[in-house]
Amino acid sequence: MPVPPPARPARVGWLAAGCLLVAMVLALLMQGAAHAGGGRAGVSLAAVKKPLIVLRAAETTTVPRQAERPDAPAALTPPAAARYSAIALPDEWAASRPGHSGTAWYRFDLPSLAGLASSLPGLYIPRVCSSYTVWLNGGLLHQGGRLVPPYSVLCYQAQLLSLPPALLLDRGNRLEIAVVGHALGEVTARQRAAGLSEIVLGPQEQLLALLDRHRFWNVTLGLAMALMLLLAGVFALGLGWMQRLPALAYLGCVGLGAAALSARPGWTDTGLPLWASEVLWTCVLVPVGICGVQFLLRQAGIGPSRRDALLWLQVLLVPAAFAIAGPQHRFAIAAAVYALLVAEVIGASLIYLRASWLTQGRDFLAMALGLAAMILVLLIEVGIQDRALDIPTVQPLHLALPLVLMALAVHASTLWMQALRQAKDSRRSVDARVREAVIEAERLHADQADQRAELMAQRERKRIASDLHDDLGAKLLTIVHTSGDERISTLAREALEEMRLSVRGLAGKAVQLGDALADWRSETVGRLGEAGIQVDWLGDEPELPRTLSARTYVQTTRILREAVSNIIKHSGASLCRVRCSLDADLHILIHDNGRGMPVQLDGPLDRGHGVSSMKNRAKQMQGQCLFETGAGYGTAIRLTIPL
């Protein structure tokens, strides 16, 4: 499918996504540099200002699961006779105590807090997973989250506690933290495996700034992006469903999945058993990834096929794999599923980019950058799960991936709006062409109807002309040759001429203009000469062959006959000048030197001279017949006939 050119809003979206993604990658690199300098906490503690105190070592002991009672709060008291061993922080149970689920105790002998005497001291824990209790000098200070299964998931949220001065000793303060959590094999993401980060001691107002920054990047921003992705996903899904655009519907499903992913750090208590929350979360991500693959394939112009059934078969195979593997191998199954989905997304991205390159799509560069950013985020997440990278402060999968998807949604929506606009323009163009075609068809139909009517009328005229010529003409000719009365013979001859003229008009045969002028001159000169009136005829000869319709010839002949008759009967003229000229029209001027006509042309004289009849005949030919008359001027008739 041809890829339409991207609009400016899509480029702005990609630019914003790229800038934020670069900033996020720089933050991760800076955090990695801080870790390399000796810190591994959830904030950049290597750059912490004094008088903050960072505790990177502790003593620890493990409480076996079978020693725990169902009422965990009663069991979570500092063990009196336990054997402690030294450990470095941060501590991931997957490395220090593989396979352990339950409780681990951490014991700290606090240094002197004399430098914090002027302010309320606080305790900042960047990461503790999953729930915990804090004891200070043998007394319970704080309980965080549920301590009975299902545990609260506080893995993505930093913790800040106040150290009441009343509980602090001048020296020899002991801090004990009990952490309850799950082994790496029982969860489906390394970020939710049990562990404890460094501990930071310092003024509470300074630690509060660290807490606010952590919550903004991990919780607040994630929830805001989740809300935007939720709205965008619902809109894209509904629009794709109504407009029958599968690619847009798939993108809407991906947006909904990304919304859940961004909101995940804000969920601390789901109320679901561990197997349900972990397995269902992975099972939900599978169709989201498949929808992403389908979106890229549809954008590449690849329609539905049997391959889709194989992709959707994963939705059934993943739960079956979890059920067969057992609770201790959930992480291994989830890691394999994540790697497979990432490989499918990379393959679909390459297919789309190849199709866009072959079709010379103008959005190739923008989509290539966006897909490269998305693949980079996915590979970073795979590296985190494989323990090739440390657990970062800001989870790239929760923030960077939704950001890229937002830019992708903006880009796809822009392309869809362009396609919709082009479709509307095409529809308007088609409607205009249809209207023109309908108008042309109606015109052709009307022309054909007129032609059929004209043909039928012409046939009827020819029949009438034939009947007149054969019947009436023969009888008039008989009267002319057999009548002994000269007056009757003359009237019969005139009637025969009029009949022949009518027959010629009814026959509908065109007349050459030169022949018509010759006929008119011959008849006019002959009739006026018989009446003793001199004729001065001057006329232009047509340079090119030009014709008159039979109707025009007949009407013009009758106008000239009426004019000649008026000159003979009423003018008393001795000279008649006739001038004929040609341009786009035929112009005939008939001017006698007689007494002229009365001024009141609407009076009886006008009706008697046939002036109205001459004007009407000219009007029927889309021409005009004008009269000029006056005493001592005679009468001039100006006839204009369109050719």
CA-CA distance, 271 to 263, in Å (whole number)? Answer: 16
Map tokens 């960077």 to a residue: 400
CA-CA distance, 240 to 233, in Å (whole number)? Answer: 10
The answer to whether the beta carbons of residues 585 and 621 sit under 8 Å apart is no
pLDDT tens digit string along 291-336? Answer: 999 999 988 888 888 888 999 999 999 999 999 999 999 999 999 9
* Percentage with pLDDT > 90 across the chain: 31
To 10 degrees, the CA torsion angle through 592, 596, 599, 605?
Answer: -100
Strand-pairing partners, residue 640, are: 587, 624
CA-CA distance, 316 to 313, in Å (whole number)? Answer: 6
The length of the chain, given as a count of residues:
643
Write out the two tokens for 514: 């030169």
pLDDT at residue 601 tops 70: no
Average pLDDT over residues 91-115: 89
Backbone angles phi, psi at 537, to 5 degrees: -110, 120
The answer to whether the beta carbons of residues 509 and 606 sit under 8 Å apart is no
Strand-pairing partners, residue 142, are: 134
pLDDT at residue 473 tops 60: no
* Percentage with pLDDT > 70 across the chain: 81
Q: Count CB-CB contacts under 10 A for residue 408.
A: 27
pLDDT tens digit string along 228-266? Answer: 889 888 988 888 888 788 888 898 899 898 888 888 888
Average pLDDT over residues 118-129: 89
Lowest mean pLDDT among 29-33, 380-384, 531-535: 29-33
Give percent helix, percent strand, percent coil of the chain, each to the nearest 5.
60, 15, 25
3-state secondary structure 46-96: HHCCCCCEEECEEEEEEECHHHCCCCHHHHCCCCCCCCCEEEECCEEHHHH
pLDDT at residue 508 tops 80: no
Backbone angles phi, psi at 80, to 5 degrees: -80, -40
CA-CA distance, 114 to 117, in Å (whole number)? Answer: 5
**Secondary structure element (H or E) that encloses residue 446, with its range:** helix 396-467
Strand-pairing partners, residue 107, are: 59, 176
Write out the two tokens for 553: 């010839």
Write out the two tokens for 596: 């002229």
CA-CA distance, 10 to 576, in Å (whole number)? Answer: 87
For 528, 566, 637, the CA distances from 533, given in Å and listed in that order, are 5, 13, 17
CA-CA distance, 520 to 497, in Å (whole number)? Answer: 14
